[in-house]
Structure 1
Amino acid sequence: MNLAEAIIQKNIEKHPLKSAIGFKKKNEGWKELSWKKFGEIVFKTANALKEAGIKEDDKVAIYSDNSSEWMIFDLAAMSLGAVTVPIYSTNNAEQAEYIICDSEAKIILVGDQAQYDASVEILQKNDNNLETIIVSKKAVWIKKEFNSFYLEDFIAKVSPEAEIYKKELDDVATLIYTSGTTGTPKGVMLTHGNFIKAFDAHFEFFKFKNFEEELSLAFLPLSHVFERSWSLLCLYGGARVYFLEDPKNIAKALEEVKPTMMCAVPRFFQKIYAGVLEKAEEGSSLKKKIFDWALETGWETAELRRNEKPVPFGLKIKEKIAEALVFSKIKERMGGRLWFLPCGGASLSPEVTRFFESVGIHVTVGYGLTETTATLTLFPFTHFEHGTSGKALPGVEIRIGADNEIQARGNGIMKGYYNNPEETQKVFTEDGWFKTGDAGKIDENGNLTITDRLKDLMKTSNGKYIAPQQIENLLTNNNFIQQIVLIAEGRQFASALIVPNFEFLHDFLKKNNIPFTNWEEIVKNEKVNDFYKQKIKELQEHLSEFEKIKKFTLMPAEFEINTGEITPTLKVKRNVVLKKYADLIDAMY
């Protein structure tokens, strides 16, 4: 079955006038499209692509920020039996060119001027298949001599009636290029069946009630498997999806859209958690007592529900008071209606998931990779274990192989890497299990715990192994630390490059009468470094002596996507950072 048919056709027949997607144009409010209208635009786009020469199994690239056009183009390509190739909007011309050449994409949808200019540059070269550039925004200045069209004009004169190409479950639906924290990006081949079976497994796992009434806000990049899979799953189940173009506007969008569900990465939860705790600490002793009491009450009720035990009447009354006095205010900052939040991309500390559970928001921590159509394991609604990555989805098997490596097989496992049989062979065992490259363990109840990336495990010169992710998580749960890179491989002790949370550090400077000059000077300030020394000492109090950070360097600016230091999903490219700041690191030893 074609994934586009499973999403569009099914929902048009079921509820044609119900809202399907929402979007916001510049200087305008949020608008919606019904399933009928959404379907018409998808089919018009498919027909226009067909007229432009796109055939079954041809590659169609999308190089754009999140938008309704992104999803329309994606579903239009798939409905034709073509293969969608997402490119991160933050990728530079060289990175985009690699993906376009490797995938042999013929047509590309771009979002803004920089993406358009990069695509024109690529189109002019003779070493690729790129023929046509489609532009989603009229604000972009285009050169028609380079076979460029605005999407609105591209689809203006074609029919809204289209025939969806029949596909087998094993046919490729998309090529998603790994973000390449190490090495060259590889094109992961995910099939129509990978998506459809994974979606069905989620609905079987959660048994959602009235899913069609849910509203999701897509703010992570659709180019990444996590947001794309989640947004497609929502549409597959008949829920509405709103697309946020600029993730920096997330706070405002939450208030305007008031989503009920949304997928997010650990940093999103850490910032809210740290912000709430900081505000509670700054309040009066009475407010602090009320906050602590509310959290304790919320935790008590959350634990009973997690274990499917009845909540006594008296505790329910306390919970309502806690909701009115504390929890409702926390939820308001997130739009007021969020109750279900899948979290992926990295591990999340148990104190953070416990906090959200106490407040009444279920953060369903999950684990998976691009190569596994996002989800392998996740928290169910009950009987999950904080600090783990949950249990395997129906149709997924997990085992622990050599060197404690997590291995998987089942519904979501990729078909392989595009045009790369050697790399494909490397990640599969002889008996057909996919090797994740992550280390972990499974408890007697089937809960998976990730210990670390096998490639990231560090061995000190004293022969001690350190798993950096857990320590980095521990420190970034604090409001004053935005990013951290732990260093220990081959060294006699652990050190770190630390990016302060500049907003909170600015407040600290004011309170301590430290005049602000510039961040380069501030991060070298003795009082600031003493403050961080004390903060780090407190945070790592419970770590083993060999795991503790002995020295650190404060960085004057955040690690950025456009400098190649982090991926679009905010994962640090450790190799890049270690090489770029080698002198700073050596100075600590």
Structure 2
Amino acid sequence: MAIVRDTSFVDHLPQNVAVQFLDRVAKSPEVEAFRFPVGTAWESVTWRQAGRQVERLAAGLLALGLQAEERVGIASGTRYEWILADLAVMCAGGATTTVYPSTNGDDVAYILADSGSRVVFAEDAEQVAKLVAFREQLPDVVRVVTFEKVDAPDAPEGWVVGLEQLASEGEAYLAEHPGAVEEVARGIAPDALATLIYTSGTTGRPKGVRLLHRSWVYEGEAIRVQDILHEDDLQFLWLPMAHAFGKVLLSAQLACGFATAIDGRVDKIIDNLAVVRPTFMGAAPRIFEKAYARIVTMTESEGGAKKKIFDQAFKVGMAVDELKRAGKPVPLPLKLQHGLFDKLVFAKVRERFGGRVKFFISGSAALNADIANWFHAAGILILEGYGMTENAAGASVNHPDDYKIGTVGPALPGTEIKIGEGDEVLLRGPHIMAGYHNLPEETAKALDADGWLHTGDKGALDADGHLRITGRIKDLFKTSGGKYIAPPAIEAKFKAICPLVSQFMVFGNERNFVVALITIDPDAATAWAAENDMAGASYTDVVRSERMRAVIGEYVEELNGKLNRWETIKKWDILDHDLSIESGELTPSLKVKRNVVEDRNKERIDAFYQ
């Protein structure tokens, strides 16, 4: 059943993000807004308390002379202070420039200089050290404000201060200019610059995407009017706030009023879900792949009756799902089996994620449909969505009452989607960027005269308006035999088959057959080693062992049985390390930098064809 979505709200959006936040504080003053870890415990603040903290910091920025749309950098991982800083920048009329904490010093200096940032919020000593080292390239930066206590003896006196120092300066400013923050906030135009997000490009310097206030308030309101999230929901937020996906979830929070538990430590996600017990969470597909692999490998290692029950449970769960999606009744014997397995198996899977999740939202890369179906059989709904930094992250998303696994859902209300030349997905709406910062030629390539954003993604719309992404145009390659290959589709299939894999990368442009490079998930490698008489062996020894190669070889053969002849993997190898953000082989949103991996392994790939 398709949902009829009212788009009239687009004509009545909040004026800007600052007003959206102030209105939420006024509407829900005593309701929980945020919770965050302090040591081993979690602390909570209400909207009123958060509002007061933001007002003091915003006034501190005004005291520093921040002018309308002037940029303020935030170089930090995801934490409560990041959100405070971002909201303070909005309320002071400035524009946030996001900087991933893993960005090297040279690129940090480039981003801050290119954006013209005047103030920088820095998480810790590591981030401050980058700023001090490249200070000569940052003449516009008048103040660095740290989230943690930092000693910076090499910085000019007063250049680096703590968050509380800025807040104290804000208090003094408010004493002389009461109401100044709200006055500034109410004067920000909808088309004023709100955010500069620098895309983590795989080649060259990153490009600054100019996103306006109307982009973010639209995203939040488009989620609110669908009536899927409410004030009594609880989000768990770990996504990088320097990424558009994280930012759009903050916009949704301001619009809907739910509370958010924040902890950006990726290695703590599963543990935190069990403690926080959220009702929803946004994540990249890699998180679901890892959770799936961990559960499957643990069950396989236990073996015996537990594995038989587990396998039968998912066989029944998949059968029930298939009948329901086809609109057919579930026979009573199958229904009874499903009820039993729900108690024995599926409830335990759901409990790993806190037991209260209504749905997950998956974005930033393609989610394999087999993995989505596996979670669905366990009673966990993953709603896949689609968007990019250039359209403030959200263009389409599946709805709890209108979803099709394998698609990225229908357009958000108020968003237009059409398929252009070469099956390219085109987007138009209030969320489209104003352009790339200082790059008019690049802007002209991305935005046409009619306001359509050319995404570079191939896709198709079905009869119900659900969008299916079939690949990234630039990722497609053609073999020397003239056959087109879509690497992401093959790679996703392997991840659904092999619970040991971390990354599976396909190559073969202008070659006569397709090859692959494989990395093994470190956690999975450790567990596998313990079960295969290699406990205590190094990661490299485990993944390069003949036994591991034999196991992976069986999975590759299984994959090849699901592919067209010209797509099959003829040769492959296992790398001696997993890809990481730190190594420069993954973007901070966990996407593989394919060209970096290919360049670093050129000799290995060439050897496949010799």
Q: What TM-score, normalized by structure 1, do the two folds share? A: 0.93
Q: 2:466 aligns with which of 419, 442, 447?
A: 447
Provide the rounded CA distance (Å) in 2 between the counterparts of 1:255 and 1:484.
Answer: 30
538, 541, 561: which one aligns with 2:581: 561
Does the 8 Å CA contact 2:16/2:213 hold for their aligned counterparts? yes
What letter matches 1:203 in structure 2? R
Aligned CA distance change for structure 1 residues 361 and 96 (closer, same or farther; 3 Å): same
Report if aligned partners of 1:84, 1:173 keep a CA contact under 8 Å in 2: yes
Q: Deviation at 1:103?
A: 0.4
Q: How does 1:462-477 map to 2 (within 5 A)?
A: 462-477=481-496
User: Counterpart of 1:247 in structure 2: which amino acid?
Assistant: V
Kept in 2: contact 1:104–1:128 (CA 8 A): no
1:225 aligned to which of 236, 244, 254: 244
Indicate the larger mover: 103-112 or 517-526: 517-526
Matches within 5 A, 1:378-527: 378-477=397-496, 478-513=498-533, 518-527=538-547
Provide closer, same or farther for how the CA distance between residues 155 and 95 of structure 1 changes in structure 2, counting only shifts above 3 A: same
Q: 1:513 to 1:12 in 2, by over 3 A?
A: closer
Residue from 69, 92, 111 that aligns with 2:81: 69
CA contact (8 A) 1:218 1:231 kept: no
| Range with greater deviation from structure 2 (98-107 or 169-178) | 169-178
Question: Measured at CA, do residues 121 and 141 of structure 1 come closer, stay the same or move farther in structure 2, by a change above 3 Å?
Answer: closer
Counterpart position of 1:23? 36
Q: 1:133 aligns to what?
A: 144
Task: Find the aligned partners of 1:561 and 1:472 in 2 and give their Cα distance.
Answer: 19
Letter in 2 for 1:24: P
Tell me the SS of whatever aligns to 1:325: helix
* 1:214 equivalent among 233, 236, 253: 233
What one-letter code is carried by the residue in structure 2 that aligns with 1:137?
E
Alignment partners' CA distance in 1, 2:104 and 2:236: 26
Counterpart contact for 1:4–1:76, Cα < 8 Å: no
1:416: Cα distance to partner?
A: 1.0
Gaps of 5+ in 1: none
Rounded Cα–Cα distance in structure 1 between residues aligned with 2:33 and 2:327: 34
**CA displacement, residues 240-279 of structure 1 (integer Å, 9 cap, x when unaligned):** 1121032222122112211111100101111222233334
After superposition, what is the alpha-carbon deviation per residue over 1:489-537, rounded to whole angstroms, capped at 9, x for unaligned?
A: 1111111111112333344444444586544444443333222212211
Deviations 1:279-330 (CA, angstroms, capped at 9, x unpaired) = 4444555434543454355446656776788989987766553332212211
| SS of aligned partner of 1:565 | coil
Match of 1:103 among 91, 115, 133: 115
Is the Cα contact below 8 Å between 1:378 and 1:392 reproduced in 2? yes
CA contact (8 A) 1:302 1:360 kept: no
Q: Which moved more, 1:497-506 or 1:331-340?
A: 497-506
Q: Secondary structure at the match of 2:509?
A: coil
What is the count of residue pairs matched by the alignment? Answer: 585
Corresponding position: 1:169 with 2:180: no
Q: Is the deviation greater in 175-184 or in 70-79?
A: 175-184
Q: What do you get for the CA RMSD once the two structures are aligned?
A: 2.4
CA–CA distance in 1 between the matches of 2:529 and 2:147? 44
Q: Deviations over 1:401-423 (max 9, x none)?
A: 11211111112211111121111
Instruction: Give the Cα–Cα distance (whole angstroms) in 2 for the partners of residues 312 and 36 of structure 1.
Output: 53
Match of 1:89 among 91, 98, 101: 101
8 A contact 2:124–2:149 mirrored in 1? no
Give the secondary structure class of the aligned counterpart of 1:57: coil
Is 1:256–2:267 an aligned residue pair?
Answer: no
Measured against aligned partners, the alpha-carbon deviations of 1:134-181 in whole angstroms (never above 9, x if no partner) come to: 001125656462611000122125337532242222221111111112
8 A contact 1:219–1:246 mirrored in 2: yes
1:577 equivalent to 2:594? Answer no
Deviation at 1:237, TM superposition (A): 1.1
Asked if structure 1 preserves the Cα contact closer than 8 Å seen for 2:235 and 2:258, the reply is: yes
Bigger mean CA offset, 406-415 vs 298-307: 298-307
Unaligned stretches of 5+ in structure 2? 1-13
1:327 to 338, 346, 361: 346
Moved more, 43-52 or 415-424: 415-424
Paired residue secondary structure (1:105):
coil
For residue 66 of structure 1, give the secondary structure of its aligned residue in structure 2.
coil
CA contact (8 A) 1:440 1:449 kept: yes
Judge conservation of contact 1:306–1:383 (CA < 8 Å) in 2. no
Contact 2:80–2:262 (8 Å) recurs in 1: yes
Deviates more, 1:241-250 or 1:296-305: 296-305
Instruction: State percent identity of aligned pairs.
Output: 34
Q: Evaluate the alpha carbon distance shift between residue 191 and residue 458 of structure 1 in structure 2; reply closer, same or farther with a 3 A threshold.
A: same
What is residue 533 of structure 1 aligned with on the other side?
553
1:191 aligns with 2:212: yes
The one-letter code matched in structure 2 to 1:473 is A
The aligned residue for residue 122 of structure 1 is 134
1:355–1:530 CA distance, 2 compared to 1 (3 A): closer
